[in-house]
């Protein structure tokens, strides 16, 4: 362990990770089994002659009426499938990122009309002196910056009390210029590329 | 004269192979008819055979060889063979001599001695084999291989001479084709020769090639892959235990390689060794191997390698299990001891990664044999129970259960399940787990039923475990399994829904699983419990009956249970049919849907006839429907499902019952006296909804059957009546049913000679559509539907005038000849032509030619493209695009691809029109084009235009005035989320397929900036699904479209 690697981390089961619950408004799906017993739609219901220019069947389940704002679960889904640089295991399974440690807040609270928002992600390294905490932080930062619209500010930090040199790492992660400089480093680039390969 | 033959041959062989062969054949015939002797033939070569020119000599030898090859196999005597053999051996380096020897050795009179002579000649003359060209080497090797095949004993008798000779002969070979032969020859030597004096030489001869790094050139005509070579090399290394002192240390060294491919080769070789070496040898290395290989599992970087490593560990255990088991200090025990010890240590932290890996190791090793399982179970079983009981929390406990579940699976593997004995347990040995079973059952029961419902994954693990336990052969009693069945029943029926209902699904699947090996328990416990839950009235909530019906269908696989289920469900349906209120009948439909599902499954599984239900369902319910004037039996949806059930039963009934159905298409089994002598269609189809039943009955009939209604004189009358009947109804379902019947008659029951009636009808209808509508839009609608129904029926059977029919349909789109509404409606109709149809289907014996979709597509695409270009009116252009997208939606992509050059411009235009259905169909086609045929896309040069349009479709246009958000204002046309999502998906696919291969510059490079910028707006879409695709697309363009790609030219 002296090299700052954790060879035997705790792993969460995929079915225990937070996921988006089935929407209540989703079509009536009471199926308890994977087999579909639903009786076939009547043969006469398929009528291409009767459709309007935007088909009603698509319209009902798929309209813009319901707004789906970006929420913490969505942020989680973006980063939880990234893999740890030293294990072929996702950050979600390793609990490096977790849903309660993600927050979305208005960037300028005094101006409610502004749509600028800040995403804060707290990272929990698998061990106190994890040598790769900075790399993981950078990876998460890169993933979020390329995946979120420009009105979002990204703030990635080490969770308090989980890392021996948290302050130093945080300083590096918060420093735009140091982040940009680090991303020019080819070794880091390949590390981050590898982390992002498993993104779903 | 023989002399002249030889001369002719030598002169001809270069210029005319065929003639040369003919000359050789005629010489052979002369030999056979004794006009010349073999000596004369050989002597005739004299002039050439000693010629200084290699080529001339080669031609002379090849003449002799051709002659020999043309002789019948028994012609040559032993002496003659002997002479020829020596003659050819002396000239073995001359072209063709090898072929001659190869021919000779295949003769029955070829002796062992001669074989040895040939081998010695090879050794003598080909010491410099590697300096010759590949083809030459290949011929020699092939010859050697043939000798090894047919005259193995002769070669083996040569002992070291052949062993060393062959090994030295082949050393240094590099060509994969030759190596394939060499590896298989060397393996024969290793296995069948005494190599004890030459172990190292033999080992080095093959190990020199490890690891195989061969990569076949693109379009390799020989089709030899690296894997082929690896397989043969591995067989060599694993050929004999004598290699063990060399293989194992070398392999373990190579296991430290940084290349995963090499590691994989090493692990596969080790597994092959463990499979082939004897237990005494393996036992010397087992612990060394464990110490090295375990890291590949415990610290796995690559799950594939971990799998291979587990296979090695299991193979070792399997190998050692063949050793005598009785001794307490057996080799197997020696091997398993350190494994048990180390795994137990890791299991102390059950939820950690290495504990999981340890579980995998224990499972792999214990599934090797009963002996291995018992050793491991004795060491690990009690420890797991203690660990669970002292568990520090659910996460840890769940991990313990996971490991136990894996061991249960191993137990099924070695002891067998209820349905299958294990080959590893021929004596039916009693399961060691019997000792723990009470404790285990208690733990698992408590875990499943005594845990709060929020702990889904914990309970899922417990449910898995209980199912596995109940599967193990001879382990649990009926009562105990019955208890589990009760648990699963309660979970499915009584528990509240939670989350994604994974546990309910798992419990249901477990019940279905148990029904395979303990059907009695299911029919006694589950079946009544489920039946009791079915409501009696239509007003029930789907949440209540739907899972119950699905459950019932799933557990009633066994025959008796299925019959009972059908009886009970039919009772229920008949009871529900009594009600005469209500307008929709979802519950009735669900029950009918279940009946349909179960009957479908029964028909597919056993091919057994379904006529047991004929009287009750087909006759009884048809008759009942004729007598009903309200309620479910006049509901179109109910009748449609009922019709499908009848259709299925008739199709799986004996001929006499099918005939009966053919006579009752419209009579519907009414009692004869109630019907007049010559009833008209409209009196028989009363209530009109009966049409739906008639349609399904008609659809079920085979083409060959005869009845009054199917008479060729009657069909035109029926079609006329159906048209009249349909034009009077206001119900779309009835209209469609009538049209389906017309399609069925046209497609299945009209001979080609009688089609003129249909042709007339069609052209008359098409002509009628040219007139301006006279305030009667319904007749236009019906006219177009009829035209398409008839055309579809005709085209699917590829009737001779297919081309003409399709052209007249495209003519409908011409706004100069037809009213606008007609053209627009007809454009939509193109989607019907090839779309799958439940009524007019192969199952229902419709005549659907295999090439129909291709023909339709090949006729329509150029036609539509040409008219599109000629057209001036935007709305007409749009019609063509709508028609095209309708066809595209149901044509397999391999038919679409060849037409791409014509299609692409149209597809791009389709992205500009507002019709969303067209847009969605187009985007779906484009997604297929991008992934299946990116090169065509690149060659077309349309990529920039495509990318720009995709960005436009994916982006939601911004409001100009945000204050007007109340919505009443003018909203710019927005694409549906599906269209936006698909557009983003297409963008994501592009970098994956385009520009990755080929020497040209990546066409995406210049677009990268624009795409990345465009996508930032899509990242802020209202819809999550759209954003998701945009995220993927951006990631793909960021990393998939590289500036430094040019440096990659290796």
- Which chain A residues are closer than 8 Å to B910 by Cβ? none
For B1016, the closest of A12, A38, A149 (CB atoms) is A149
Minimal Cα distance from B786: which residue of A?
A49
Highest mean pLDDT among B7-16, B320-329, B657-666: B657-666
Please tell me the predicted confidence (pLDDT) of residue B791.
92
For A34, the closest of B395, B505, B551 (CB atoms) is B505
- Which chain A residues are closer than 8 Å to B1036 by Cβ? none
- Which chain A residues are closer than 8 Å to B1017 by Cβ? 149
Band of residue B418 on the pLDDT scale cut at 50, 70, 90: confident
Asked if B301 is an interface residue toward chain A (Cβ–Cβ < 8 A), one would say yes
State the Cα–Cα distance between residues B897 and B878, nearest whole angstrom. 23
- CB spacing of B829 vs A54 below 8 angstroms: no
Asked if B299 is an interface residue toward chain A (Cβ–Cβ < 8 A), one would say yes
State the Cα–Cα distance between residues A101 and A96, nearest whole angstrom. 10
Helical pair B916-932 and B977-993, crossing angle rounded to 10 deg? 10
Considering only residues B15 and B484, tell me which one the structure prediction assigns the higher pLDDT. Answer: B484
Nearest chain B CA: its distance from A125 CA (Å): 15
Asked if B732 is an interface residue toward chain A (Cβ–Cβ < 8 A), one would say yes
Band of residue B535 on the pLDDT scale cut at 50, 70, 90: confident
Q: Does residue A52 register a pLDDT over 60?
A: no
Please tell me the predicted confidence (pLDDT) of residue A57.
42
Tens digits of residue pLDDT in B592-613 = 999 999 898 888 887 667 888 8
Q: Report the DSSP beta bridge partners of residue A105.
A: A118
- CB spacing of B977 vs A64 below 8 angstroms: yes
- Which chain A residues are closer than 8 Å to B977 by Cβ? 62-64
Q: Do residues B440 and B469 lie in contact, with contact meaning Cβ atoms separated by under 8 Å?
A: yes
Q: Does residue B970 register a pLDDT over 50?
A: no
- CB spacing of A43 vs B551 below 8 angstroms: no
Sheet-wide strand order for A152-158: A102-106, A117-123, A152-158
Regarding beta strands A117-123 and A152-158, do their DSSP bridges make them parallel or antiparallel, or are they unpaired? parallel
Q: Of A98, A87, A119, A102, which is closest to residue A195 (Cα–Cα)?
A: A87
Highest mean pLDDT among B14-23, B789-798, B959-968: B789-798
Domains of chain A: 67-197 (3.30.300.130)
- CB spacing of A37 vs B553 below 8 angstroms: yes
Considering only residues A6 and B693, tell me which one the structure prediction assigns the higher pLDDT. Answer: B693
Please tell me the predicted confidence (pLDDT) of residue A28.
36
Which of B402, B510, B1016, B1019 has the highest number of chain A CBs within 10 A, making it the mutation to test binding with A? B1019
- CB spacing of A62 vs B502 below 8 angstroms: no
- CB spacing of B1027 vs A74 below 8 angstroms: yes
Please tell me the predicted confidence (pLDDT) of residue B893.
79
Give A70's DSSP letter: -
Please tell me the predicted confidence (pLDDT) of residue B790.
92
Q: Does residue B336 register a pLDDT over 90?
A: no
Which of A9, A48, A90, A94 has the highest number of chain B CBs within 10 A, making it the mutation to test binding with B? A48
Radius of gyration of chain A (CA): 22
Asked if B257 is an interface residue toward chain A (Cβ–Cβ < 8 A), one would say no
Nearest chain B CA: its distance from A146 CA (Å): 7
- Give the CA dihedral B323, B327, B332, B334, nearest 10 degrees: -140
State the Cα–Cα distance between residues B14 and B27, nearest whole angstrom. 18
Asked if B200 is an interface residue toward chain A (Cβ–Cβ < 8 A), one would say no
For A35, the closest of B554, B740, B916 (CB atoms) is B554
For B916, the closest of A37, A58, A147 (CB atoms) is A58
Tens digits of residue pLDDT in A71-104 = 899 999 999 989 888 777 888 888 889 899 999 9
User: How would you class A35 by CB atoms within 10 Å of its CB: exposed for 0-12, middle for 13-18, buried for 19 or more?
Assistant: middle
Please tell me the predicted confidence (pLDDT) of residue B961.
43
Nearest chain A CA: its distance from B683 CA (Å): 23
Please tell me the predicted confidence (pLDDT) of residue B5.
75
Mean pLDDT, to the nearest integer, of B747-771?
A: 86
Tokens of A87: 């294990």
Please tell me the predicted confidence (pLDDT) of residue B775.
56
Task: Please name the residues between 27 and 86 in chain B that touch chain A, using a CB distance below 8 Å.
Answer: none
- Which chain A residues are closer than 8 Å to B835 by Cβ? 46, 48
Percent of chain B clearing pLDDT 70 (strictly above): 95
Q: Where are the alpha helices (DSSP H) in chain A?
A: 56-61, 72-80, 133-147, 166-174, 176-182, 186-197
Interface predicted TM-score (ipTM): 0.86
- CB spacing of B917 vs A78 below 8 angstroms: no
User: In the block, which residue shows the tokens 């296991």?
Assistant: B255
Asked if B619 is an interface residue toward chain A (Cβ–Cβ < 8 A), one would say no
Q: Report the DSSP beta bridge partners of residue B421.
A: B416
Q: Do residues A19 and A71 lie in contact, with contact meaning Cβ atoms separated by under 8 Å?
A: no
Q: Do residues B983 and B923 lie in contact, with contact meaning Cβ atoms separated by under 8 Å?
A: yes
Minimal Cα distance from A87: which residue of B?
B301
For A32, the closest of B550, B737, B1016 (CB atoms) is B550
- CB spacing of B1023 vs A68 below 8 angstroms: yes
State the Cα–Cα distance between residues B168 and B165, nearest whole angstrom. 5
Please tell me the predicted confidence (pLDDT) of residue A75.
92
- CB spacing of A74 vs B1024 below 8 angstroms: yes
Which of B463, B489, B546 has the highest number of chain A CBs within 10 A, making it the mutation to test binding with A? B546
Highest mean pLDDT among A26-30, B265-269, B927-931, B994-998: B265-269
Helical pair B370-389 and B394-415, crossing angle rounded to 10 deg? 160
- Which chain B residues are closer than 8 Å to A47 by Cβ? 732, 736
- CB spacing of A149 vs B1019 below 8 angstroms: yes
User: In the block, which residue shows the tokens 């020596």?
Assistant: B86
Q: Which residues have CB under 8 Å from B640's CB, separation 6+?
A: A42, A43, A44, B692, B696, B733
Q: Does residue B15 register a pLDDT over 80?
A: no
Q: Report the DSSP beta bridge partners of residue B416.
A: B421
Q: Does residue B176 register a pLDDT over 50?
A: yes
Please tell me the predicted confidence (pLDDT) of residue B778.
65
Task: Please name the residues between 622 and 641 in chain B that touch chain A, using a CB distance below 8 Å.
Answer: 636-637, 640-641
For residue A153, report the phi and psi dihedrals to the nearest 5 degrees: -100, 140
Asked if B890 is an interface residue toward chain A (Cβ–Cβ < 8 A), one would say no
Band of residue A33 on the pLDDT scale cut at 50, 70, 90: very low
Asked if B1034 is an interface residue toward chain A (Cβ–Cβ < 8 A), one would say yes
Please tell me the predicted confidence (pLDDT) of residue A118.
92
Spans of all domains in chain B: 514-608, 611-754, 933-961+969-1048
Minimal Cα distance from A32: which residue of B?
B505
- Which chain B residues are closer than 8 Å to A89 by Cβ? 353
Mean pLDDT, to the nearest integer, of B548-571?
A: 85
Please tell me the predicted confidence (pLDDT) of residue A2.
40
- CB spacing of B457 vs A9 below 8 angstroms: no
- Which chain B residues are closer than 8 Å to A10 by Cβ? 349, 351-353, 395
- CB spacing of B551 vs A32 below 8 angstroms: yes
For A37, the closest of B353, B549, B740 (CB atoms) is B549
Please tell me the predicted confidence (pLDDT) of residue A60.
44
Average pLDDT, chain B: 84
Cis bond leading into A103, ω under 30°? no
Please tell me the predicted confidence (pLDDT) of residue B999.
54
Regarding beta strands A117-123 and A102-106, do their DSSP bridges make them parallel or antiparallel, or are they unpaired? antiparallel
Task: Please name the residues between 445 and 484 in chain B that touch chain A, using a CB distance below 8 Å.
Answer: 456-457, 460
Minimal Cα distance from A43: which residue of B?
B838
- Which chain A residues are closer than 8 Å to B825 by Cβ? 49
Please tell me the predicted confidence (pLDDT) of residue B738.
93
Tens digits of residue pLDDT in B767-809 = 888 876 555 666 788 888 999 999 999 999 888 888 999 999 9
- Count of pairs with CB atoms under 8 A, one residue in A, one in B: 179
Please tell me the predicted confidence (pLDDT) of residue B960.
47
Band of residue B8 on the pLDDT scale cut at 50, 70, 90: confident
- CB spacing of A32 vs B549 below 8 angstroms: no
Please tell me the predicted confidence (pLDDT) of residue B967.
43
Please tell me the predicted confidence (pLDDT) of residue B745.
92
Please tell me the predicted confidence (pLDDT) of residue A7.
64
């Amino acid at each position: 362990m002296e090299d700052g690697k954790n060879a035997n981390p705790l792993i969460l089961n995929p079915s225990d990770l937070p996921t988006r619950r089935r929407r209540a408004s989703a079509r009536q799906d009471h199926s308890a089994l994977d087999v579909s017993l639903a009786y076939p739609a009547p043969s006469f219901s398929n009528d291409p002659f009767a459709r309007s220019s935007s088909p009603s069947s698509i319209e009902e389940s798929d309209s813009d009426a319901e707004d789906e704002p970006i929420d913490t679960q969505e942020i989680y889904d973006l980063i939880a499938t990234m893999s740890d640089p030293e294990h072929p295991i996702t950050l979600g399974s390793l609990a490096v990122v977790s849903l309660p440690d993600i927050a979305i807040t208005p960037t300028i609270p005094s101006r409610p009309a502004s749509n600028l928002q800040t995403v804060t992600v707290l990272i929990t390294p698998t061990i106190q002196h994890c040598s790769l905490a900075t790399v993981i932080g950078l990876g998460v930062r890169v993933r979020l910056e390329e995946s979120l619209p420009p009105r979002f500010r990204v703030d990635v930090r080490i969770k308090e009390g989980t890392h021996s040199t948290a302050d130093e790492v945080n300083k590096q992660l918060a420093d735009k210029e140091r982040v940009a400089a680090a991303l020019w480093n080819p070794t880091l680039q390949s590390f981050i590329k590898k982390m992002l390969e498993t993104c779903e | 004269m023989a002399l002249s033959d030889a001369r002719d041959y030598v002169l001809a062989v270069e210029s005319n192979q065929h003639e040369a062969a003919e000359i050789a054949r005629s010489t052979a015939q002369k030999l056979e008819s004794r006009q010349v002797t073999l000596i004369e033939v050989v002597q005739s070569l004299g002039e050439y055979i000693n010629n200084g020119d290699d080529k001339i000599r080669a031609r002379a030898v090849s003449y002799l060889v051709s002659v020999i090859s043309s002789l019948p196999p028994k012609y040559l005597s032993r002496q003659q063979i002997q002479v020829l053999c020596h003659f050819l051996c002396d000239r073995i380096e001359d072209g063709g001599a090898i072929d001659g020897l190869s021919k000779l050795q295949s003769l029955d009179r070829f002796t062992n001695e001669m074989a040895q002579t040939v081998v010695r000649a090879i050794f003598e003359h080909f010491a410099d084999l590697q300096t010759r060209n590949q083809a030459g080497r290949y011929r020699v090797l092939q010859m050697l291989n043939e000798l090894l095949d047919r005259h193995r004993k002769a070669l083996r008798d040569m002992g070291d001479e052949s062993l060393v000779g062959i090994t030295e002969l082949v050393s240094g070979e590099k060509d994969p084709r030759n190596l394939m032969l060499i590896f298989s020859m060397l393996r024969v030597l290793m296995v069948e020769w005494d190599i004890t004096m030459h172990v190292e030489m033999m080992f080095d001869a093959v190990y020199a090639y490890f690891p195989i790094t061969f990569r076949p050139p693109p379009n390799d005509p020989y089709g030899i892959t690296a894997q082929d070579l690896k397989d043969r090399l591995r067989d060599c290394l694993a050929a004999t235990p004598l290699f063990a002192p060399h293989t194992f240390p070398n392999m373990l060294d190579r296991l430290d390689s940084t290349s995963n491919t090499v590691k994989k080769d090493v692990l596969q070789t080790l597994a092959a060794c463990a499979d082939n070496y004897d237990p005494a040898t393996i036992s010397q290395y087992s612990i060394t191997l464990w110490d090295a290989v375990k890291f590949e599992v415990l610290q796995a970087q690559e799950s594939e390698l971990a799998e291979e490593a587990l296979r090695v560990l299991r193979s070792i255990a399997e190998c050692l299990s063949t050793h005598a088991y009785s001794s307490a200090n057996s080799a197997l025990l020696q091997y398993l001891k350190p494994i048990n010890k180390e795994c137990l240590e890791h299991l102390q932290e059950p939820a950690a990664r290495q504990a999981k890996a340890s579980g995998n190791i224990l499972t792999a090793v214990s599934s090797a044999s009963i002996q291995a399982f018992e050793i491991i179970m004795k060491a690990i079983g009690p420890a797991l129970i203690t660990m669970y009981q002292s568990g520090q929390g659910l996460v840890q406990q769940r991990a313990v259960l996971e490991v136990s579940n894996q061991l249960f699976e191993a137990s099924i593997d070695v002891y067998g399940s209820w349905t299958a004995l294990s080959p590893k347990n021929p004596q039916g040995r009693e399961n060691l787990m019997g000792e723990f079973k009470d404790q285990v059952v208690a733990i698992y029961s408590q875990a499943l039923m005594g845990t709060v419902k929020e702990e889904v994954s914990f309970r899922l693990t417990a449910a898995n475990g209980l199912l596995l336990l109940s599967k193990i052969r001879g382990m649990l009693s009926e009562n105990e399994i019955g208890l589990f069945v009760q648990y699963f029943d309660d979970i499915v029926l009584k528990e509240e829904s939670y989350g994604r209902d994974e546990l309910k699904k798992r419990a249901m699947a477990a019940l279905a699983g148990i029904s395979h090996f303990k059907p009695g328990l299911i029919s006694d416990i589950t079946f009544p419990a489920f039946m009791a839950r079915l409501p009696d009235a239509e007003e029930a909530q789907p949440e209540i009956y739907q899972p119950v019906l699905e459950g019932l269908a799933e557990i009633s696989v066994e025959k008796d249970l299925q019959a009972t289920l059908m009886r009970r469900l039919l009772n229920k349906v008949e009871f529900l049919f009594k009600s005469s209120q209500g307008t929709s009948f979802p519950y009735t439909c669900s029950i009918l849907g279940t009946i349909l599902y179960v009957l479908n499954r029964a028909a597919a599984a056993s091919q057994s006839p379904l006529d047991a239900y004929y009287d009750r369902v087909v006759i009884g319910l048809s008759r009942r429907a004729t007598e009903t004037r309200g309620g479910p039996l006049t509901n179109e949806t109910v009748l449609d499902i009922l019709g499908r059930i009848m259709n299925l039963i008739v199709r799986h009934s004996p001929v006499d019952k099918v005939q009966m159905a053919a006579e009752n298409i419209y009579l519907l089994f009414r009692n004869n006296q109630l019907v007049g002598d010559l009833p008209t269609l409209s009196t028989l189809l009363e209530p009109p909804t009966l049409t739906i039943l008639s349609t399904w009955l008609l659809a079920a009939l085979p083409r060959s059957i005869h009845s009054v209604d199917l008479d060729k004189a009657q069909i035109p009358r029926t079609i006329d009546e159906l048209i009249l009947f349909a034009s009077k109804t206001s119900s779309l379902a009835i209209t469609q049913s009538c049209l389906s019947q017309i399609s069925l008659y046209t497609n299945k029951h009209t001979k080609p000679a009688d089609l003129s009636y249909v042709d007339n009808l069609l052209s008359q209808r098409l002509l009628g559509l040219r007139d301006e509508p006279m305030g009667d839009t319904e007749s236009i609608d019906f006219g177009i539907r009829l035209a398409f129904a008839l055309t579809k029926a005709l085209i699917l059977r590829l009737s001779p005038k297919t081309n003409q029919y399709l052209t007249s349909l495209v003519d409908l789109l011409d706004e100069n000849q037809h009213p606008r509404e007609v053209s627009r409606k007809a454009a939509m109709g193109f989607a019907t032509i090839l779309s799958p149809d439940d009524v007019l289907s192969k199952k229902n014996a419709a005549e659907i030619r295999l090439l129909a979709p291709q023909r339709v597509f090949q006729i329509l695409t150029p036609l539509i493209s040409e008219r599109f270009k000629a057209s001036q009116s935007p709305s007409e252009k749009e019609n063509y695009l709508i028609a095209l997208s309708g066809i595209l939606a149901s044509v397999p992509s391999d038919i679409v691809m060849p037409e791409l050059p014509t299609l692409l411009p149209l597809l791009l235009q389709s992205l500009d029109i507002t019709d969303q259905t067209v847009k969605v169909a187009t985007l779906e086609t484009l997604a297929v084009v991008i992934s299946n045929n990116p090169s065509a896309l690149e060659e077309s040069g349309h990529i920039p235009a495509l990318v720009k349009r995709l960005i436009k479709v994916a982006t939601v246009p911004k409001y100009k005035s945000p204050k007007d958000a109340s919505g009443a204002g003018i909203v710019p046309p927005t694409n549906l989320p599906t269209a936006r999502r698909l557009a983003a998906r297409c963008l994501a696919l592009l970098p994956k397929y385009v520009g990755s291969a080929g020497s040209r510059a990546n066409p995406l490079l210049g677009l990268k900036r624009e795409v990345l910028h465009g996508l930032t707006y899509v990242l802020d879409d209202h819809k999550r699904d759209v954003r998701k695709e945009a995220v993927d697309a951006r990631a793909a363009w960021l990393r998939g479209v590289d500036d430094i790609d040019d440096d990659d030219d290796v």
